[in-house]
Amino acid sequence: MASLIDTVRDFKGFTDIRPKPVQKDPRIPRDMGLPLIGYTLDFVRDPLELSQRLYRRNGPVVRTRTMMETVLMYGPEANQFVLQNTDQQFSSEWG
């Protein structure tokens, strides 16, 4: 006897609603800080100084860790890219 989950999986219109894992772009420079905590302490102490330091070291886009893994983007082009969201890359749909 098939379980309810197997029945749902076999349904032709079934769509997996779980969020898909994010592919990490190897072109984005990584500056992760300390193991596990990253730059969390620096962020709590002075977020503006940390942001400026990461920008000077890595340029306008950097992947880092401040409490969780984060991608920081600086400049007017980055702001336009995020705020216009033409490709629907930025969403709060999954929290």
Give the position of tokens 């500056």: 31
Confidence (pTM): 0.65
Rounded CA separation 74/4 (Å): 48
Contact 61, 30 (CB under 8 A): no
Rounded CA separation 95/31 (Å): 25
Contact 34, 42 (CB under 8 A): no
Rounded CA separation 41/66 (Å): 8
Q: What is the pLDDT of residue 52?
A: 95
What amino acid is encoded at 48 in this protein?
L
Could you read off the pLDDT tens digit of each residue along the chain, which spans 95 residues? Answer: 455 555 555 555 555 556 666 667 778 899 999 998 999 999 999 999 999 999 999 999 999 998 888 889 999 998 888 888 887 777 766 65
